[in-house]
Amino acid sequence: MDVISSSIKTYNIWFEISGVEVGQHLYWQIGGLQIHAQVLITSWVVIAILLVSVIIAVRNPQTIPTDGQNLFEYILEFIRDLSKTQIGDEYGPWIPFIGTMFLFIFVSNWSGALLPWKIIELPHGELAAPTNDINTTVALALLTSVAYFYAGLSKKGLSYFEKYIKPTPILLPINILEDFTKPLSLSFRLFGNILADELVVVVLVSLVPLVIPIPVMLLGLFTSGIQALIFATLAAAYIGESMEGHH
């Protein structure tokens, strides 16, 4: 009986950790703005992880890279290749933007899967991956949209807007609608995938023993990385498309 009661107690702890609170948030009032505090907190943690990792890796660069330096050089090379493939020869200035998007989303997704956020209790809501909040994904998508228009305008000037009436002015509403749906698509794709992963794990934990959901959680780590890659790839593709001036 002791073994059974201990197992039930352990199961209940894991169930509480895996629970999802929907529609509840901890708010901070900053000036006249109402801000989701838990998103800011977890975003700061993600940014701190990235900054500390970079500082540790490059504080003493070697001609023959060490393990940490070698990893970051590989990541930089990967982001550079991704940017060059999607944007073209003028990819150089966009490496920091694409890299920031990829690394922030990647680390955010993994932090949601690996860090026990839900152990930390808040008066309202709960801590989770920053990308688990629709406001974060919308902000990332809008940044991509701003970069998209900036890339086109900086290269072509006001003649950039000629693309909206090509090949015929009849397509003007469709071309405008396409540009507005790009950030919407990016935002809901990322948010929907993250939320779906969490809900699947919660349902499995509530229905079957913990040993079954664990492989699903591991699969979630893989799909989290894929989501970061897809977002960064599409962002780079949109910027490249804007600079080329065609759809």
Give the number of other Cβ atoms within 10 Å of residue 56's Cβ: 12
The stretches in the chain having pLDDT less than 70 are 1-27, 67, 116-118, 122-125, 191-220, 245-247
pLDDT digits (tens, 9 = 90+) for 161-198: 777 777 777 878 887 787 777 777 777 777 666 666 66
pTM for the full predicted model = 0.75
Q: Residue 10: what pLDDT?
A: 46
Predicted local distance difference test score (pLDDT) of residue 19? 45
Question: What does the pLDDT read at residue 246?
Answer: 47
State how far Cα 2 lies from the chain centre.
44
- Closest-CA residue to 160 (of 96, 50, 242): 242
What is the predicted pLDDT for the residue at 124? 64
CA distances from 240 to 80, 83, 101, 103, 236 (A): 14, 9, 16, 20, 6
